[in-house]
Amino acid sequence: MIRSPDPELDLTMARIIKAPRATVWRAWSDPTRLERWWVPEPARCKVIDMDLRPGGSFVTRISEGGGAFVPHIDACFLAVDELSRIVFTDTLVAGWRPAENAFMTAIITLSDHPAGTEYAAHVMHRSGADRKMHEEMGFHDGWGTVAGQLARFVEQTH
């Protein structure tokens, strides 16, 4: 199910990462690695639950300014294609149960690129209003920033 982004409803970002796909995949799929780049620094991230298969739980928390860890993502994986694609949504929680606070579905794709890996996120909303809210909340800064952190993390360590 690859569909073109709908400019009225979706937000997208992409970045070239100078590391092989397998390295980027590992930085995403291993909770201790994901914690290193998943929230914008200097905030810190904890992965509470990460069951990387369709219907599996995906729960992260964030600590900002040294404060307590508070809810960040409470979502459900929808599709997991080794080395190439991860789809998750916060409209569902573990076991595909409908969520209280539903907002988006994200399709993350990794593809080969002459310089390493093209990392892309396609984030879908139910309405133009939700898309606009996400944009105003800082989608481009937020997702762009953490993709930059991911790039630095894997470019240093692989």
Q: Residues interacting with its own copies, by CB under 8 A?
A: 1, 3, 9, 53-56, 78-79, 87, 89, 91-92, 94-100, 102-105, 107, 124-127, 130
Q: How far is the CB of 116 from its own copies (least distance, A)?
A: 27
Region for 116 from its dihedrals, namely left if φ exceeds 0, alpha if ψ lies in -120 to 50, beta otherwise: left
How many angstroms from the chain centroid is the CA of residue 28? 8
Nearer to its own copies, 8 or 136 (CB): 8
Structure letter (DSSP) for residue 7: T
Name which of 45 and 124 has its Cβ closer to its own copies. Answer: 124
Which of 37, 88 has the CB closer to its own copies?
88
- Find the shortest distance in angstroms from Cβ 95 to its own copies: 4
- The nearer residue to its own copies, 16 or 129, going by C-beta atoms, is 129
Helices (H) and strands (E) in the chain, counts: 4, 9
Q: How many CA atoms lie within 13 A of 87 on its CB side?
A: 14
- In the complex, what is the shortest distance from the CB of residue 9 to its own copies, in angstroms, rounded to a whole number? 7
Q: How near is the Cβ of 108 to its own copies at its closest, in Å?
A: 12
Q: Tokens in use for 72? A: 């960040």
Distance (Å, rounded) from C-alpha 127 to C-alpha 112?
A: 32
Closest to its own copies by CB, 45 vs 107, is: 107
Three-class DSSP category at 86: strand
Q: Closest approach of Cβ 4 to its own copies, in Å?
A: 10
Q: Find, among 142, 138, 144, 131, the residue nearest to 105 by Cα.
A: 131
